[in-house]
Amino acid sequence: MKCPSHQDLNWVAFVNKQVDDERDYRNALETCESCLQLFAASLENNLKSPSPGFVDKVMAGLPPTSNSQINKRPRHWPWLHYAAAACITLALVHLGYFDYIYLIPEELQLLEHSAGAGDHVLSMIDTFKSLIDFIIVKGV
């Protein structure tokens, strides 16, 4: 089959890398739907199936696994996550973080009309950053 627009192009030769100038072929692939279909068909015809026993050789080369290796995660991992979340929550409660969050809407309403509202928000952000830095450095 030939493309009506590009009859001089041999797609089988292009797939087998037997052409000297690939520029015309690449331009045809970019602009012509028929050439793209012919190229795909040539690629499909050029594909070779693997030799018999190929899959068996590959599978034999893989390291053996057992069910115990697949499920290596200990059963106590969820409890460790729960304990870490509880510790972080207790630290935030102890530091008064949740009380502070509860008061933020009232403070913002009071500061909404004042000139220092932006500075107050920035100071809250700096306080939060220092709290995060403290938690990361101390490992709380």
3-state secondary structure of 16: coil
- CB under 8 Å to 91, separation ≥6 — which residues? 135, 140
- Print pLDDT tens along the chain (140 aa): 678 888 888 888 888 888 888 888 888 888 888 888 888 888 887 777 777 888 888 888 888 776 655 566 667 778 889 999 999 999 988 888 877 777 766 666 665 556 555 666 677 788 888 888 888 877 65
Q: Is the pTM of this model over 0.75?
A: no
- Spatial separation of the C-alpha atoms in residues 46 and 15, rounded to whole Å: 8
